Amino acid sequence: MKTVTIEHIVKTYPAEHGTVEALKGISFEIDQGEVFGLIGPDGAGKTSLFRILTTLLLANSGNATVNGFDVVKDYKSIRNCIGYMPGKFSLYQDLSVQENLEFFATIFNTSIRQNYGLIKEIYEQIEPFKTRKAGQLSGGMKQKLALCCALIHKPTVLFLDEPTTGVDAVSRREFWEMLHRLKVQGITILVSTPYMDEASLCDRVALIQKGGLLSVNTPKGIISEFKKTLWSVSADDMFGFMKAIKKDPGVESCYPFGQVHHVVFKTEENSEAWLQQIAVQNNYNKAAIKVIEPNIEDCFMALMQD
């Protein structure tokens, strides 16, 4: 049995001029124990899908199940077996760390003591601040507390909506390490993120844009779908170089990536000679042009371009 099934889910919202199609009939499945990433830019439809799966929002059409339970008919059973960490903070800002945790334990009819084992490792990191109000915690600490609150009733499936948005790089890394330790305990995790680099930390990912699925695959599988040659270019005038490259109708995409630009051509003929020519014509110094292997972010850029 699949832990999560999503079949042709459509969600629209009324808008000023007609309707917004937030989800355009998407389908995919998640296996037990997977860390599954839902990757997409703002407005892609991630939160709408999370709210449908956590039984807080009704789809216009389509079916979805969690642990074999239907999201409409069996919503009560689903609420008991899932943990949900919404993107906008779910914590009570005026309650202390400990009070927040006690509150979430109480509404699920359990106690911190009963399920402490599951959260121990995460809670120990915020315990020194247990009397501090949640509103006065740093972003990283709020995120750890929100995760403890989502776990306190021992869910078997965790839904984490953009848990690392606005969190510093070190806390982001620590958070992913925590997720992998939860996976080892058999918890299935659906996590959304706008950060494409986090895709490689998932077992499988779905790339979503404007309510449609672009690809569902393992990170390696997504990279193997990239069939074109990828060029890395740099010169002293990076901005001018990009502008000149983008002028050519034969260029499919050119985008900044760290210290270099990544370039893909529509057809591959003479692409290197052409890049060299631009550098020479514009008198760029220290021009460096080479073929590189794509990473997952390049694959997403290509899919989104299509």
Ligand X SMILES: Nc1ncnc2c1ncn2[C@@H]1O[C@H](COP(=O)(O)OP(=O)(O)OP(=O)(O)O)[C@@H](O)[C@H]1O
Interface positions with ligand X (CB under 6 A): 13, 15, 20, 22, 40, 42-48
Q: What angle do CA 197, 201, 203 make, to 5 degrees?
A: 125
Closest CB to ligand X among residues 129, 195: 195
Closest CB to ligand X among residues 33, 194: 194
Instruction: In angstroms, give the least distance from the CB of 100 to ligand X.
Output: 23
Closest CB to ligand X among residues 15, 184: 15
Q: What angle do CA 31, 35, 41 make, to 5 degrees?
A: 115
| Calpha distance 197→302 (Å, rounded) | 15
Pairing of strands 35-39, 204-209: parallel
What 3-state class would DSSP assign to 285?
coil
Quick check: 189 and 158 in contact, CB under 8 A?
Answer: yes
Closest CB to ligand X among residues 58, 280: 58
Instruction: In angstroms, give the least distance from the CB of 6 to ligand X.
Output: 14
Instruction: In angstroms, give the least distance from the CB of 165 to ligand X.
Output: 8
Stated as kind and residue range, the H or E segment containing 39 is: strand 35-39
The tokens describing 289, both together, are 């042009």
Pairing of strands 69-70, 82-85: unpaired
Instruction: In angstroms, give the least distance from the CB of 14 to ligand X.
Output: 7
Closest CB to ligand X among residues 51, 261: 51
Instruction: In angstroms, give the least distance from the CB of 90 to ligand X.
Output: 15
Instruction: In angstroms, give the least distance from the CB of 11 to ligand X.
Output: 8
Closest CB to ligand X among residues 22, 201: 22
| Calpha distance 87→45 (Å, rounded) | 13
| Calpha distance 276→253 (Å, rounded) | 17
Closest CB to ligand X among residues 47, 67: 47
Name the residue type at position 21.
E
Instruction: In angstroms, give the least distance from the CB of 198 to ligand X.
Output: 14
Nearest alpha carbon to residue 185 among 145, 143, 161, 157: 157
Quick check: 248 and 275 in contact, CB under 8 A?
Answer: no
